[in-house]
Structure 1
């Protein structure tokens, strides 16, 4: 891959000395591990602070990890926080992919390795009615999990 392919389509190049904040590996043109992300609604492109393989791992696992955490956690505060925004659709990480004020989510990724834009949608994520149905199912699970009839009455004793 040539350095010119990295800068095509108004995309940048990794800063000198840039390293992944997860693996601490260098992010370079030569290593082909530079990623940029676009956030909505500003549509501004910014450099990701994680290298390509870490971003790809997040895309592959974040949705499933969310579902598993909702189903397995026994902390009501954690459950409320998880359910506040509902099941994730797009890759997110406050360290690697921070959002500017007013932006709501990462919508696209650009990989320096291939010079192409890619969807930021998580593997397994659902949208529209399917997401609404899943969200309702998860809320139902949270409300009823671990409670037996009359549990509220036990709290007064």
Structure 2
């Protein structure tokens, strides 16, 4: 049986916490505090973005991904975008830092209403539908005319490389 201290007890924002995106204070009074749970550890941690930014990510991150895939003119960026496939859950390495063995954010808790919710992006698809979308998006990769170095990250090419 789990120790009662291990059960899910959502907290309060640490004193002086501010959103890494808007630089607004995150406070109990403003009710803009968010926690996230990551899989598979299932640990809850404070999100580093305030509620309005987290909600914006939930509402737009999937559509922005699709748009970037369809409009980028850089094949290396396209390959990076398609490497892991279309996103399903909200993500941001700064707002939702994952522990070493965790793979994704699975749940969110908003202090505003005290409720937990799924971290799935609006419009995101899973299973066979996601696989079909991933296959469709991979058709944007151009193999003909691919030049040496197209798959190399800029950092690997060195300073001043084009």
Aligned match of 1:82: 81
Aligned match of 1:32: 31
**TM-score w.r.t. structure 2 length?**
0.83
Aligned match of 2:105: 106
| Pairing of 1:1-157 with structure 2 (within 5 A) | 9-143=8-142, 151=145
Residues of 2 paired with 1:68 and 1:142: CA distance? 15
Residues of 2 paired with 1:65 and 1:130: CA distance? 18
Residues of 1 paired with 2:134 and 2:64: CA distance? 15
- Greater percentage in helix: 1
Consecutive unaligned residues of structure 1, counting only runs of 5 or more, are 1-7, 153-157
**TM-score w.r.t. structure 1 length?**
0.86
Residues of 1 paired with 2:142 and 2:97: CA distance? 32
How far residue 140 of structure 1 moved from its aligned partner, in angstroms, is: 1.4
Q: CA RMSD in A?
A: 1.5
Residues of 1 paired with 2:84 and 2:112: CA distance? 32
Consecutive unaligned residues of structure 2, counting only runs of 5 or more, are 1-6, 147-162
Write out the 4+ residue segments of structure 1 that deviate beyond 2 Å after TM superposition. Answer: 141-144
Residues of 2 paired with 1:86 and 1:115: CA distance? 32
Aligned match of 1:4: none
Residues of 2 paired with 1:110 and 1:54: CA distance? 14
Say which SS state the counterpart of residue 110 (structure 1) adopts: strand
